[in-house]
Amino acid sequence: MAPAHPERALPAIPCGADATAANPLLDPERLSGVEAGTRLQRGIIDASVTVFVNRLSNPIANVTLGRGPGIFPGVGFVAGDYRQRQNIRAINVRGIEAAGEVRSGPWSIRLGASFTDARVVADGVSAALDGLRPAQTPEVILSGGVGWESEGRSASIEIRHVGSQYEDDLNRNLLPGATTIDAFASWPLGDKLQIIARGQNLFDESVTAALNDDGSVERATPRTLWLGLRFSSR
């Protein structure tokens, strides 16, 4: 049974000094687009390229409607930015993705790249967003890795770079790009048992996830290490 007051089932979302009001009257998003690609497989080489053009209609975004300190509907007192979940007119996206892999014996090398140009189309109360980049949408993502696998043993190292991106809808707070390195290894201890080691963000790169108006910075996952056992009943 639906709640008698649906707006009460959607509480405001605080984020530091900012607050985002819910909206029970949102319309569904609709995606349309085209893409074309090609793939080359020759010997030890496997490579592909894809270009795409998309349009997201009625996307749901956190739209900035005011700035505190002050009292705002649905959230009460706000010291920073007051936002509400709203449908905006559209987001136009175009880009290209490329990936390649080379395998030779137990070794493999992988490379990947993604370049995306995304722009907001907005009017009405969200007109200030028109022509800006959507929040948390990097232009560039690059990745690469080297792997080795032989007789149930494996090891790999991956490097990933995510370019800078805006944290907010008004493109005021720029999150710097970051490069992280991950590693993985497995070694059999018998027919059914393996020891697994994994490391994420090995060099403890400072990855900024959010910048708040009160000056606080939220970090993504710091250096994290796992060690475990994998048992197979086969």
In a domain, 39, yes or no: yes
Q: CA-based angle 28:31:37, to the nearest 5?
A: 160
Q: Which residue has the higher pLDDT, 9 or 215?
A: 215
CB contact set of 66 (below 8 Å; sequence gap of 6+):
72, 78, 81, 82
Please say whether the beta carbons of 70 and 79 come within 8 A. Answer: no
Residues 142-148, mean pLDDT to the nearest whole number: 98
CA distance 110 to 115: 17
Q: How many domains does the chain have?
A: 1
Give this prediction's pTM: 0.83
pLDDT at 13 over 60: no
Going by pLDDT thresholds of 50, 70 and 90, the confidence category of residue 202 is: very high
pLDDT for 32 equals: 97
**pLDDT per position as a tens digit, 22-36:** 889 899 999 999 999
Identify the pLDDT of residue 4. 38
Domain CATH code at residue 74: 2.40.170.20
Q: Which domain holds residue 57?
A: 6-231
User: Can you tell me the distance from the alpha carbon of 123 to that of 129, in angstroms, rounded to the nearest whole number?
Assistant: 8
Please give the pLDDT value at position 5: 39
Residue 159 near residue 181, CB atoms below 8 Å: yes
* Cα→Cα distances 220→138, 167, 227, Å: 15, 13, 21
pLDDT band at 220 (very low <50, low <70, confident <90, very high): confident
% of the chain surpassing 70 pLDDT: 91
Alpha helices in the chain (DSSP H): none
Instruction: Work out whether the CA dihedral 64, 66, 72, 73 comes out positive or negative.
Output: negative
- Give which of 114, 144, 109, 104 is closest to 49, Cα–Cα: 114
**DSSP assignments along 87-111, one per residue:** E-SEEEEEEEEEEEEEEETTEEEEE
Tell whether 186 is covered by a domain: yes
What is the per-residue pLDDT for 210?
A: 80
Q: Per residue in 90-138, pLDDT tens?
A: 999 999 999 999 999 999 999 999 999 999 999 998 999 999 999 999 9
Better-scored residue on pLDDT, 234 or 34? 34
Instruction: Report whether 51 contacts 95 (CB < 8 A).
Output: yes
Give the pLDDT confidence score for residue 79 in this predicted structure.
Answer: 81
Q: Is residue 65 part of a domain?
A: yes
- Provide the terminal-to-terminal Cα distance of the chain, rounded to the nearest Å: 46
Identify whether 21 is part of a domain.
yes
Q: Is 54 a domain residue?
A: yes
CA 123, 128, 131, 133 torsion: positive or negative?
negative
Q: What are phi and psi of 8, to 5 degrees?
A: -75, -15
Does some domain include residue 94? yes
Would you tell me how many other CB atoms lie within 10 Å of the CB of residue 88?
A: 24
Question: Is the pLDDT score of 141 beyond 80?
Answer: yes
Looking at the predicted structure, is the pLDDT value of residue 149 above 90? yes
- Examine residue 128 and state whether it is found in any structural domain, yes or no: yes
pLDDT at 73 over 90: no
Tell me if 1 is assigned to some domain. no
Strand 81-87 to 18-21 pairing: parallel
pLDDT digits (tens, 9 = 90+) for 42-68: 999 999 999 999 999 999 999 999 888
